[in-house]
Amino acid sequence: MFCCPVCNYRHSRLELVEEAFKIDGRHILVDRVPSEVCQQCGERSFSRETTEKVRQLVRSGANPRESMSIPVYEFV
């Protein structure tokens, strides 16, 4: 049963989302990741199986669909 870790709402919907991850010190962007999204606040939650599959995808050496450069700022 779903319970949002942010607002404790108990209703979610399954969506395919774009999400940034940091794996082995590398920042990556993955598209079409299955996620439970809280219907009240929009918080995204990923199953252990999904996050492990993302790790395996990155570590497999598979070629990414595309690459991009992003600016990085430090909040001071």
**Tens digit of each residue's pLDDT (9 = 90 or more) over 56-68:** 999 998 999 999 9
Residue 70: predicted pLDDT: 87
Phi (first) and psi of residue 51, to 5 degrees: -65, -35
Question: What residue spans of the chain are helical by DSSP H?
Answer: 48-59
Residue 39: predicted pLDDT: 98
* pLDDT tens track, the chain, 76 positions: 899 999 999 999 999 999 999 988 989 999 999 999 999 999 999 999 999 999 999 999 899 999 999 888 999 9
Q: What is the mean pLDDT of the chain?
A: 94
Nearest to 10 by CA among 34, 39, 53: 39
